[in-house]
Chains A and B, each alone.
Chain A
Amino acid sequence: MIRVVLPAHLRTLARVSGEVELRVTGQVTQSSVLDALEARYPVLRGTVRDQDNGRRRAFVRFFACEQDLSHEQPDAPLPDAVAAGAEPFLIVGAMAGG
């Protein structure tokens, strides 16, 4: 299972607490994880990435294994530790404004 940590506002919107666990078929990438997330929680569509072009929203960041993966290609494999469920994939609201 893939572990995903959502920012507080999206946990509220999806009505979840703590980490989300997702089953991802095939290669574990940003796209496949977000596809699984949005399939399970349709209310999150458009809040992390644009619904028309799939681009990450400007003030959303993706972290894992103490790395910023925000600028990686959406179809690039995520770290093995994320794919194995040892480390979470973090969706983070960027530090900006108030």
Chain B
Amino acid sequence: MSGVRVLVGTRKGAFVLTSDGRREQWDVSGPHFPGWEIYHVKGSPADPDRLYASQSSGWFGQVIQRSDDGGVTWTPVGNKFSYAGAAGTHQWYDGTPHPWEFARVWHLEPALTDPDTVYAGVEDAGLFRSTDGGQEWQELPGLRRHDSGPSWQPGAGGMCLHTILLDAAQPGRMFAAISAAGAFRSDDAGETWRPVNHGLHSEGIPDTAAEVGHCVHRLAMHPSRPGVLYMQKHWDVMRSDDSGESWREISGNLPTDFGFPIDVHAHEPDTVYVVPITSDSLHFPPEGKLRVYRSRTGGDDWEALTRGLPQRDCYVNVLRDAMAVDSLDSCGVYFGTTGGQVYVSADAGDNWAPIVRDLPAVLSVEVQTLP
């Protein structure tokens, strides 16, 4: 019987949660790398036993871990992330130029077909690639060197490149998102980039429709329809039907359109999930009720999913990389909270149950569907 492996990154280590296809009984392994912040753990689509983990610490910096056996054992690989050439400057919080400084890896995106190739989105915003299983990392500097680069500035969480999407239908096309610069697209495997933010409006910047400067929180794509993108922005849930060339708002009847994660059903490209959060300064669910919202129409019309989720006194957040879907026949949806819970729905969001309740604050959730 097929099963799932859920990869959870937390403030104090990584956890691996496994279950069979029913997704009712779970084995919990961890903490791996206890005491370290694990921003992200992700498996290779080409080899499910190949995992990469971003391990970091305010004291001891960045470590990248690799597993070749599905997370049973791990080996540290390369951790040198040097910006190519002169680092240059971006805009600091006070408006002054600030040198690009590497802080950490936020997101690891293994390539679609080669387990040894993996992309890393880092803070300060840059994109790196390894083609030898994480031993050596080279920057793809075309993104950071875009003409707008000197005007990028950090959001409250740092100037991070947090989303990397690879287009399976059009090799060489990829998307990246940066807080607070916006969404970018490359059509030549990351060599050159251009902003794709037309249609976004952000009240927090002087020109609300500027080419860059938007705090994009997350992008999502269904692999069968890569021209359609969904976005959770600082405020606003957005959709593009032309690979990012233009965006339109699909917040519709959401109780609030602020939030962090957004994801798409594995088999229904028009079924989208978000977790509304009260506001930019109140990072918890409205009314203390933890509700996932689902649209079956590609946006605009949303329904609250509440069965099995706390509907009182709940003041957790769900961070941008902390939602994922499996690809079993009945699509599973997963998310983790800053309160340390990881929830699963084995029926596309209709019913939820906690897998674990008391982990450290969850930074990221990924899921692998195993044969």
Chain A residues with CB under 8 Å of chain B are 7, 9-10, 13, 43, 45-48, 51-52, 57, 59-60, 93-94, 96-97
Contact = CB atoms under 8 A, between A and B. Distances in A.
Contacts of B25: none
Interface of B: 35-36, 57-63, 76, 79-80, 82
A59 B63 contact: no
A57 B60 contact: yes
A46 B35 contact: no
Given A9-B35, A47-B63, A97 B80 contact: no
Contact of A57 (B61, B63, B76, B80): B61
B238 to A, nearest CB: 36
A43 B75 CA distance: 10
Nearest to B36: A9
Contact of B63 (A13, A48, A60, A97): A13
Contacts of A47: 60-61, 63
28 contacts: A7-B59, A7-B60, A9-B35, A13-B60, A13-B63, A13-B76, A43-B63, A43-B76, A45-B80, A46-B61, A46-B62, A46-B63, A47-B60, A47-B61, A48-B60, A51-B79, A51-B80, A52-B80, A52-B82, A57-B59, A57-B60, A57-B61, A59-B59, A60-B59, A60-B60, A94-B59, A96-B58, A96-B59
A46 B79 contact: yes
Q: Please list the 3 inter-chain residue pairs (A to B) with the smallest Cβ-Cβ separation, ordered nearest first.
A: A47-B60, A59-B59, A93-B59
A7 B79 CA distance: 19
A47 B60 CA distance: 4
A97 B11 CA distance: 13
Contacts of B63: 13, 43, 46-47
Contacts of B61: 46-47, 57
Nearest to B79: A46
Contacts of A7: 59-60
B83 to A, nearest CB: 9
A9 B57 contact: yes
Nearest to A42: B76
Given A9-B59, A46-B80, A47-B63, 7 more contacts: A7-B59, A7-B60, A45-B80, A47-B61, A48-B60, A52-B80, A60-B59
A97 B76 contact: no
Contact of A97 (B36, B58, B60, B62): B58
